[in-house]
Structures are given as C-alpha cells and as structure tokens.
Amino acid sequence: MSKFDPKDSNEEALDPEAGNIILAMVKQFSKDMDLSRVTFPTFVLEPRSFTERVTDFMTHPDVLLDAASQENEIDRFIQVTKYYLSGWHIHPRGVKKPYNPVLGEFFRCRYSFEDDSRSFYISEQVSHHPPITAMYYNNPQHGIRINGELRPISRFFGNSVAMMLDSKSYGKIYLDSHGEEYNITYPNMYARGILFGKMFLELGEKSTVICEKSNLQCEVEFKTKGFFTGSYNQIEGKITTISEPRETLYHISGNWQTVTYIKNVKTDETTVLFDSSQESVMLKDVPKIDDQEPNESRNLWRHVTVALKNKDQDAATTEKTKIEEAQREAARTRRAQKIQWSQRFFSHDAEKDIYLPKICIDDNEIDALPSDPEEAGNILTQWIFTKPDGSIPEFVKDDESSVPC
C-alpha cells in the first residue's frame, strides 16, 4: 500500500510553443465537434492507456471488501457510494489525456489483499470507432464483481474540451453474497482554459448509484466552478429511498479530490466519508513488461511512454505514429480479406448492444464459476492471464513494473 498526495494540481500552464500548437488545432474545430478522430499532440498525453486508467476506480478496493462484510443494507450502500467517490482523486498532474487504445488492446492485473484473497481485472478495447472499452473485475473470496463499459465522446466547447460518456456506458457492482446489484452512472470531465487562462481539469453534472433491491439511491452533483464564484472540485448529493414518497437519509458534501462528508439526516451527525490523504493506495500486481503480449497496453505503448518520461516529444510522436499506422494497416488488411474482428475477452450481445465477459453466462446471472473461491481464482487466472503459448506471465508489484527509462 502507498499514499496518494491529494495536493497534486489540476492546473497546468502551457509554454508558449505548446500554446501556439493548441491554438492552431482549435482554429480547425467547430463548436460541439466530435473530437474522437482528432490526433492530439503528445505533450497533452498522460503516459498510460485509457484501458489502464479505468483501474483508478480500483485504487481503494478494500472499501468494497468492507461493503461486502456489512450486515446492514444501508451500511453496504454507504460503503459502495464511498468506493465510487474514491476513484476520482487519482489523476495525472495538470491536464492530460490517456492514450486512445487500439482495437484489441487490453490491460490486465490482479490485486493481493492481507486476508490472502485476490481480485482479478481485465479491460479490452472492443471497438475503435466508436471507441468502447469493456472491463471486468472479480474477487471470488468476497463475492464481489464489477463489469461495465465506457463509450467516451469528446466535444469542443470554445474554451473547453469535454469528455462525456455515451448513454450506453454503464458500471455494475455485484455483492453476490447479498444478492445486490448497484448501477452506476458517471459525470462529465472538462479540460478548461485551452484558449486562454490556465488549463485545469474539472468534473461536472450529476451521477448516480442505485440499488433496486435495497430501495436506495444516491445522486451526486459534481459542481463546476463559476467564473467569479464558487470553489473547485465541490460535490453535493443525497442518499434517498427509491420508492415514493422518497425519504432523504443522508446528505453528502465536500471536495472529491480531498475530503467528502456524510450527514445523517435523523441524527444531524456529520462524519468523514472519504479522505484521500488518509487512505492507502492498493498497488496492482501486473505482468512484467518483458512478459507482456504485443497488444498489452504497457508493452504496446512502452516506447511512447519512455519518450514522454524523457520529455522527448519528437520521439513520442514518432512512436505514437508507428502504432497508429500499424492499426490502420491491420484494418485495411481485415477489410481486404473480409475478416470479421473478434474480441478476445468479451462477447457482443447484439440485441442489447452490450459487451459481456466471456466467462459469464449473461448480464443477469452470476458468473459461470465454481462456488469454491480457490477454484474460481484458478479459472480466472487461466482465462485472463494465459498467453498464446499456454504460459502464465510473471508478476511484479506496480511500483516495480514501470517501463525502464
């Protein structure tokens, strides 16, 4: 476990040359323009892929373990809400965007806990146009599963760029030992000040956590700062019953980057819900970089990452272009040979237009896994980590696995 510094800045001041490049790009944009096919300069890139960035929501997986252990449904719901809010404070310094994953790219890892349980994670870029990232997480010892997909849409709004999620994006958290399913929606992300002023990152709009079985829902508004008033990173929300007449049970407030609070309406007691400076970051177990497959995220982008860390923008651009050209050539070959692309870890349900992990029966049933946690863990290991030659990669802790610079 390691600590995260919540004081890392959301702001970034561009040097004059970078600012001129951005300005030249923006002049070609029109308001509400879809930016999904726009190639951005490498100095705006965060040195990791979007397939890995999704794991930010697994930064504090012990919170979910606590949720599964709660006997009271309201306590479980509060812990799931805490888990959801705990994923937003992880971000690169300044305003950066992750690499756009190529079709078939994947990121996989596992998490090892003090109680000897393990969680397993896989995400795959199942579509390139439109971009869709499918993900799956499972801790068989505690009966916790997460699956979902993210369909990002980028839009230009004058002095801002927004990263929104298509309405078909979703996240589902299952606490199988309690038979509960939590449905989650997400806020928008904005890069402000791209034309004038300092660039800064901001979250905005409402998001929800809903559990039908518990008759509970949480609606949280990520508040954007006004031009002259307000503060950055503020949230306001409430936990209520779903059925009418709706009863408000708790109020939520605070700063999504630092400390959030929860207030019991009946007792008027306010306590800390999540404090990012006090929570430990769970390090991932990842395959060694030299033991990763060619289309595994860190290996695929390793030379771009090295160049970015060395602040060599020319080399980063060259390496990034190689990956993009290889992607285009592979697409041309498939079209010429009339080959239909097939996902490796997920299956497409055409009727519902959703991607489900191939280890599942369907989205309404528990995984096709044995009830014994050890057996289930072995099956998950084989499914997620087996390489084409039948071997399992060697793992290292996340802080030991960065691409050598």
pLDDT digits (tens, 9 = 90+) for 15-31: 545 555 555 555 555 55
The confidence score (pLDDT) of residue 6 equals 46
Query: Can you read off the two tokens belonging to residue 136?
Result: 């799956």
**DSSP per position, 201-230:** EEEEEEEEEEETTTTEEEEEEEEPPPSSS-
pLDDT in tens, 75-98: 999 999 999 999 898 766 667 889
Question: Distance of CA 225 to CAs 154, 192, 201, 231, 334, Å?
Answer: 20, 11, 11, 6, 47
Q: Is the dihedral of CA 353, 355, 361, 366 positive or negative?
A: negative
Closest CA to 80 of 193, 194, 171: 171
Domain extents in the chain: 9-205+283-298+328-400
**What pTM was computed for the model?**
0.88
Q: Is the dihedral of CA 151, 209, 220, 107 positive or negative?
A: negative
The confidence score (pLDDT) of residue 262 equals 98
The confidence score (pLDDT) of residue 403 equals 41
Fill in the amino acid letter for 63: V
The ranges of the chain with pLDDT < 50 are: 2-4, 6-7, 14, 16, 361-366, 400-405
Residue pair 235/253 in contact (Cβ under 8 Å)? The answer is yes
The confidence score (pLDDT) of residue 10 equals 56
The confidence score (pLDDT) of residue 160 equals 74
Residue pair 99/304 in contact (Cβ under 8 Å)? The answer is yes
Question: Distance of CA 210 to CAs 49, 76, 80, 196, 218, Å?
Answer: 29, 12, 10, 39, 6
For residue 279, the tally of other CB atoms under 10 A from its CB is 19
d(CA 286, CA 83): 22
How is residue 402 annotated by DSSP? S
The confidence score (pLDDT) of residue 7 equals 46
Alpha helices in 225-368 (DSSP H): 297-300, 302-309, 313-337
d(CA 62, CA 83): 9
For residue 139, the tally of other CB atoms under 10 A from its CB is 26
The confidence score (pLDDT) of residue 232 equals 86
d(CA 94, CA 100): 18
Q: What is the CA radius of gyration of the chain?
A: 21
Q: Is the dihedral of CA 1, 97, 322, 122 positive or negative?
A: positive
